[in-house]
Amino acid sequence: MTDRVSLVIEKGIATLTLDRPEQGNTIDLPMARALLEAALRCDEDDAIRCVAITGRGKLFCGGGDIESFAQAGDSIGSFLSELAAALHMALSRLLRMRKPLVTLINGAAAGAGMSLAIAGDIAIAARSANFTAAYGALGLSPDGGMSWRLPRLVGLRLAQDIILTNRRVTSEEAAAIGLVSRVVDDEALAEAGAKVAAELAAAPTAALGAARNLLLDSFETPLEAQLEREARSIASLGCSAETRASVAAFLARRNTRN
């Protein structure tokens, strides 16, 4: 798509690669805009059934591009507002799209890079990966949805510790506390990601999208309201051709085994 973000679509899987390896895949304004463009494409293209995000080089994403912060000078407030707006619109699209999102964390993820890494429905980390909130070291507060997502994944107490102390979280600890789904050896990351993405791409997209939305809103929705949303969702999906085909295929497999 651009020299900062590449997007390859193959067999229904869109692989989005952060592509500034010499700068640690840090996010400047052009990259944030490229992420938004890619997110819009992934959301709107019905041929895409699963989205995977990874980084090129040794880092997944080192967060915001600090050099661009300095270059903004006295306009730093306006610059950060514009940068965050583009990044947040991209993340909102990725989180709200019907297709599942897989993040393949190939190395260090810091600041907004950590926010992006933990946005996946399935987050697979290479063993060498690590996670740092990083904002406090620059006198900044979190962006990229970290203050919303992190407490929901690991609980408020751990989120406070990770964000306020800026301590580094190893891949093993990340898996133990629920920050990522699993850890694999570095050389196995691409294969593990491809396997999960292929499985998700082959699954009923509408059902996955409905489940994503139910889960995303579940912390704010009272039980009875969530039960109503679930009832309406499952009933709507039951009428779809995709669900009927899935039911028929399931029964055919069971009858074959019997």
- Could you tell me the two tokens for 88? 């947040």
- Global pTM? 0.92
Nearest to 8 by CA among 30, 23, 16: 16
Structure tokens at 129: 């990966």
What amino acid is encoded at 80 in this protein? L
Tell me the average confidence (pLDDT) per consecutive run of 10 residues in the chain, 258 residues long: 88 97 96 97 97 98 94 94 96 96 98 97 98 93 96 97 97 98 98 97 92 92 93 89 78 74
What are 29's strand-pairing partners? none
Say what the pLDDT of residue 168 is.
97
Q: Nearest Cα to 105, choosing from 179, 160, 38?
A: 179
In terms of Cα–Cα distance, which of 176, 57, 174, 64 is closest to 125? Answer: 174
Q: How many residues does the chain have?
A: 258
